[in-house]
Structure 1
Amino acid sequence: MDEKNSLNAEPVLDEFGKEIIITDPSAAPQLARLSIDVETAAINASPEAQKFHQDNIVDWDGPQDPQNPQNWTSTRKWLIIILISAITFNQAMSSTIFAPGVRQALRDLHSSDQASAPLLISIFVVGLAVGPLFLSPLSELYGRTPLMHASNFAFLLASIVCAVSINVPMLLIFRLIMGASTISLGGGYVADMMEPQHRGKALNVWTVGPVLAPVIGPIAGGYISLKASWRWTFGLVGIIGAFSLAACFVFLRETYPPRLLELKATRLRRETGNPLLRSKYDTGQTPTQLFRYSIMRPTKMLVRSPIVGIVSLFLAIAYSYMYLLFTTFTDVYEKTYGFNVGEAGLSYLGLGSGFLIGQYTQNLFMKWHMKKQLTKNGKLQPEDQLPPLIVGGFMLSIGLFWYGWSVEYKAHWIVPVIGTSICGIGITYFFLVVQTYLVDAYTLYAASALAANTVVRCVFGVTVPLAGPALYKRLGLGWGNTLLGFLALIVAPASLWLLKYGEQIRNNPRFMPKL
């Protein structure tokens, strides 16, 4: 080896910090990995090696380290959660705000293909199913904030293009992009910042967006389409999206612990000149390996973890029923009760009031229940979140029976509205319990767990409502909703089973995919 190459050789330290000169630069990655392996092996060899290993691990500076998001002030935490909730609300509202203006849009775009109408609505949910598979795991590789900024910008751009679309294919493509860029990192932010006993309340605030917004959307969209134009439904969400994007750049901070500790380790390596310093979350994998593992994580969790699959199916039932109700409201209240488009939109307030009641009552119960479990067991388990799910199964069933038969016998319009509010309470319990359970069970990878859950519920949300017209045509609203109600009852005994065996299944090595 000539002198020039020797001068350019990369220094690598052995397990005791002594420099090793690499004379072949191409061997640097292998020798660097070898030095880590030697260091790891030396941990078991001597106290000195153990101390050296610990000295090179970058962690928080004690339990009260202000850099740890869980030690941030309550004001800072809640500001971020409320901001994420507002963003989620706007993006979730965009899934249904366009629904009342679809026919008007087809006329304006000179399309006679009426089959495009349901596709223009449901294609958003298709994007919503696909986007989190990439955005959520990437947030566990590059951090929450870069993905939040990128998705907010993509959503804003897609909203603008939808508002100025000149044909149906253009509108379809950018509706799909709107759905795909809808962020689902709220649960991840909550897991990063909140202790287990406070996560329920924080998730309660965040889920106002995905739960209540699809109800507000048709009401706002109906009056906007009636008084202005369908284009302004996209204009409204675009304007709110622009303010959200600006607010994120001003107020949002990175919260993902592995990313924060990696940035800290990088800064310390630069300041100290010690190349062996690394985050406690560093697995020694290459960026390519990390990227592959991150992208595959939601799919692996869904396929390999029964817990993720089971609770995702629970929420898929409630989510698909919610969209099935959405598809019937306009026809039911216009044809049976003679409502106009705007008045029919107001019928969604039954569900909306149920959502609010559900959030309030669930929060009250969980405050009492979590305090009781903490006193009884000295610690909290993810399964402690499950009891409201049992009640939710019964509430959803009762609400469906009530709504179906009151319309079947043409009772006063307030009676089916009350029935849908009972459905709303049950649906809210499903949403809050499943999402909080997944966040508690898979804290570090909460975003990926919720992404897997989102895929399942969105697939059901797209497909099940398509069967609604045929179901109600054959059985009527009474027996049709009775059938759906009996299916929802299955969740109650399944939840009891999960309450008893959930921890055992979660901790079984066979059901713990390498994440």
Structure 2
Amino acid sequence: MASSPSLTPAATHTDGERDNDSGSDAQLQLRRKISQAVDEGHDADIPSSQGFVLSEEEELRRQRSIADRRRNSIASGGSRANRDVEKAQAPGEAALSSSNDDDDSDTSPNVVWWSGPNDPENPYNWPTWRKVLNCGLISAMTFISPLASSIFAPGVPQVIAEFHSTSLEIAAFVVSVYVLGFAAGPMLFAPLSEIYGRVILYHIANVGFVAFQIGCALAPTLNALIVFRFFAGVFGSVSITNGGGTIADMIVQEKRGGAMAVFSIGPLLGPIIGPVAGGFLSDAEGWRWSFWLLTIVGGFLGILMTFSLKESYAPVILERKAAKLRKDTGNDLLRSKLDAGLSPRDYFKRGIIRPFKMLFLSPIVAITSLYMAVTYGYLYLMFTTMTEVFQEYYGFTTSTVGLAFLGLGVGSMIGIILFSGTSDRYIQRKAAQADAEAQATGGTKAGMKPEYRLPLLPLGAVFIPAGLFIYGWTADFRTHWIAPIIGTAIVGIGNLIVFMSIQMYLVDTFTIYAASAIACNTVVRSLAGAVLPLAGLPMYSKLGIGWGNSLLGFIAVALFPVSIFVLKYGEALRNRFVIKNL
């Protein structure tokens, strides 16, 4: 297999220069590996902005693509310099037979790379205001999109009454179907982003998001509303799918924590603030105005993004640079260093097939995805049932019932503070201890093991059932309304800890393929988030709020050993079941 492009985020080679960093330096390789893992820590199968890792079959296709360019260039009367290089051999012969061919190697004069360490086209060198603007707009959209998943919840009784429905399942599904769109969206838009970049997909998604919000606001039937909600979720998933990668494009790893924390707040607070705003709005103007509000805010933000966003995806930036140079110089052999030479069909295969291969071939992916699916399903089950519970048990009105969701929001914020405040420091301390022990014994430095992300996982696994028991029984006995809200806050803490622990573990485990693992996890948990809530209201109707939540709590208790199992045997599983030919 031909040598792959440098993976170092800070690499700043001039066109055609050889990388001066020593590839044999173990610590440098470790830094590269960790950096690429973080670059792929988002919900999509988008390759690192610093290069591709191809299978042998894909590498052969890339070589053939380069050979075809040579043939076309010679046939069309390419430059004399290019023809001289090829005089001694048949066009494309060396490209297919040797990865060390000068015209194929990454040091070839025909390979286009950054112009220097301070190249202003490199997103890492953008001015601070540009990075803040890009990050801020994308983070704002990642707040609006999840907010749309739940802002509609307080108005569901009005919808059911207007369309004369008596189905409890439909009442829940009209809310959770949006999350089903979150499962479908990444499988479509992630491969597209490999081809066309991030910005164009943001613009398309914003138009689709606004268009289907208008459709929801004007929906003539309940079935039409469900369909429009689904497609709104599909387009709304793009900002969450690609947002983390966009931030990684612009901000180096050691400074990325703050930006990622801001980015994470939107998906956490959006579903919580949604019912608060939706409750007052539905009570004052009717349920349709929840969608008009999303249309107005989403449209305004989309306009700002149209005129302000700048492409940050390095393969697309360099391909545009190469295309301009080909036009200016007439040298058709010029190519981006990050050009994988794959067809659109191959990109889609990479984006769609690999996550499912991981799900079925990697036990650690399957176990963590299923466990995450249960906890995520519980979260959306609560979103779809809390309106009914607090209106029936505590007499909350349509306008005030949204305030009951603040418990989940406060709990989620506590969870993210707890995790972010301890995880990085813990893994750095553990890695330093392991390296010191290795140095003392003359062994190889171990670096940061993915399992260092997991110590809080059992704590989160305890908080979830504890919060469910408190929420269920305090509501069942009509204890003061603050008691069940405290229970939901505890669930929020546990859910966030489980979510962050597993996601960061997958990122650190699969490094360059982390995005595929996250995409797999996203699909599974989003399906659970859409389907599991359908059982919520019928379950409470038959068992009552106390025993209904107790049933969920007992299931969570039964799954507690999963957290211990992953913590104890995760390393052995990931080392034993290594997936090849991804």
Superposition TM-score tier, normalisation by shorter sequence: 0.7 to 0.9
**Match of 1:188?**
245
Q: What amino acid does structure 1 have at the position aligned with 2:521?
A: N
Residues 354-378 of structure 1 deviation map (CA, whole Å, 9 limit, x = unaligned): 1111122222113422543564548
User: What residue in structure 2 maps to residue 483 of structure 1?
Assistant: 554
Tell me the CA shift for residue 286 of structure 1. Answer: 3.1
1:87 to 118, 141, 145: 141
Contact 2:173 2:534 in 1 (8 A): no
- Map 1:302-321; keep pairs closer than 5 Å: 302-321=359-378
2:287 alignment partner AA: W
Using the TM superposition, name which of 205-214 and 175-184 deviates more: 205-214
Aligned to 1:3: none
Other-structure match for 1:250:
307
Give the Cα–Cα distance (whole angstroms) in 2 for the partners of residues 388 and 369 of structure 1: 11
Equivalent residue, structure 2, for 1:353:
410
Post-superposition shift, 1:7?
13
Match of 1:18 in 2: 84
**Map of 1:467 onto structure 2:** 535
Q: CA deviation at 1:422?
A: 1.4
**CA, structure 1 residues 439+238, in 2 after alignment: closer, same or farther (shift >3 Å)?**
farther
CA-to-aligned-CA distance 1:423-473 (integer Å, 9 cap, x gap) = 111111233334444455566666554433221111111222223345543
2:494 counterpart (426, 431, 443): 426
- State the SS of the aligned residue for 2:332: coil
Alpha-carbon distance between aligned partners in 2 of 1:18 and 1:75, rounded to the nearest angstrom: 47
Alpha-carbon distance, 1:135 to partner: 1.0
TM-aligned CA deviation for residue 333 of structure 1 = 2.4
Q: In 2, distance between residues paired with 1:388 and 1:74?
A: 34
Asked if structure 2 preserves the Cα contact closer than 8 Å seen for 1:137 and 1:298, the reply is no
* Selected match of 1:41 from 63, 87, 97: 97
**CA displacement 1:285-338 (0-9 Å, x = unmatched):** 334433443444444444444454343323222211111222332333233333
Residues 377-416 of structure 1: pairs in structure 2 closer than 5 A:
377=435, 380=448, 382-416=450-484
TM superposition shift of 1:144:
1.0
Partner of 1:210: 267
Deviates more, 1:141-150 or 1:265-274: 265-274
Q: Does 1:493 align with 2:552?
A: no
**Deviation at 1:164?**
2.0
Residue identity matched to 1:467: A
CA offset at residue 151 of structure 1?
Answer: 0.6
SS in 1 for 2:331: coil
* Structure-2 residue corresponding to 1:155: 209
Written as runs of structure 1 = structure 2, the 5 A alignment for 1:19-418 is 35-36=91-92, 38-39=94-95, 41-44=97-100, 54-62=108-116, 65-108=119-162, 110-112=163-165, 114=167, 116-182=170-236, 183=238, 184-373=241-430, 375-376=432-433, 377=435, 380=448, 382-418=450-486
Give the distance between the partners of 2:500 and 2:187, measured in 1 at CA: 21
User: Could you tell me which residue of structure 1 aligns to residue 30 of structure 2?
Assistant: none
Question: C-alpha distance in 2, partners of 1:288/1:282?
Answer: 15
Counterpart secondary structure, 2:108? helix
The 3 A distance-change label for structure 1 pair 287 and 132 is: closer
2:525 to 426, 445, 457: 457
| CA–CA distance in structure 2, aligned partners of residues 427 and 162 of structure 1 | 30
Structure 1 residue runs without a partner (length 5+): 1-5, 22-30
CA 1:435–1:62: 2 relative to 1, 3 Å: farther
2:230 counterpart letter in structure 1: L
In structure 2, C-alpha distance between the alignment counterparts of 1:70 and 1:498, rounded to whole Å: 38
What is the alpha-carbon distance in structure 2 between the residues aligned to residue 88 and residue 479 of structure 1?
A: 33
Does the CA contact (< 8 Å) of 2:153 and 2:175 recur in 1?
Answer: yes
Code of the aligned partner of 1:263:
R
Distance 1:140 1:287, change over 3 A: closer
From the superposition, tell whether residues 403 and 170 of structure 1 become closer, same or farther in structure 2 (CA, over 3 Å): closer
Return closer, same or farther for 1:440/1:276 CA change in 2, 3 Å cut-off: farther
The amino acid that maps onto 2:343 is T
1:57 Cα deviation after fit: 2.6
Deviation of the 1:416 alpha carbon: 2.0
TM-score (norm 1): 0.84
Give the C-alpha shift of residue 36 in structure 1: 4.6
Aligned-pair distance for 1:207? 2.1
Counterpart Cα distance in 2 of 1:382 and 1:67: 34
* Unaligned stretches of 5+ residues in structure 2: 1-71, 436-444
Between the aligned partners of 1:129 and 1:98, the Cα distance in structure 2 is 19
In the alignment, the residues of structure 1 paired with residue 575 and residue 492 of structure 2 have an alpha-carbon distance, to the nearest angstrom, of 32
Report the AA paired with residue 76 of structure 1: R
TM-superposed CA distance for 1:154, in Å, is: 0.3
> Partners in 1 of 2:117 and 2:558 — Cα distance?
47
Equivalent pairs counted in the alignment come to 492
Q: Give the aligned residue type for 1:336.
A: Y
Deviates most, 468-477 or 246-255: 468-477
* Identity within the alignment, %: 39
1:136 corresponds to which letter in structure 2?
A
Secondary structure of 1:387's counterpart equals coil
Equivalent residue, structure 1, for 2:32: none
The Cα of 1:159 is off from its aligned counterpart by: 0.9
Q: Which amino acid aligns with 2:306?
A: F
Q: Supply the distance in 1 between the matched residues of 2:172 and 2:255 (Cα, whole angstroms).
A: 40
Q: Taking structure 1 as reference, are residues 464 and 61 closer, same or farther at Cα in structure 2, changes over 3 Å only?
A: same
- Quote how far apart the aligned CAs of 1:284 are: 2.8
Find the aligned partners of 1:134 and 1:309 in 2 and give their Cα distance. 22
Q: Please tell me whether the aligned partners of residues 159 and 287 of structure 2 are also in contact (alpha carbons under 8 angstroms).
A: yes
Residues 44 and 154 of structure 1, relative CA distance in 2, 3 Å threshold: closer
Higher mean C-alpha deviation, range 437-446 or range 80-89: 437-446
**Cα pair 1:89 1:208 within 8 Å, conserved:** yes
Distance between the aligned counterparts of 2:363 and 2:317, measured in 1?
31
Paired letter, 1:270 = K
Distance 1:126 1:159 in 2: 16
Distance 1:317 1:460, change over 3 A: same
User: Which whole-Å CA distance do the structure 1 matches of 2:390 and 2:85 have between them?
Assistant: 79
Structure 1 CA distance for aligned equivalents of residues 94 and 419 of structure 2: 52
Farther off after superposition, 145-154 or 443-452: 443-452
Structure 1 residues 143, 382: CA separation in 2 closer, same or farther (over 3 Å shift)? farther
TM-score (norm 2): 0.75
The 1:423/1:366 distance shift into structure 2, 3 A limit, reads: same
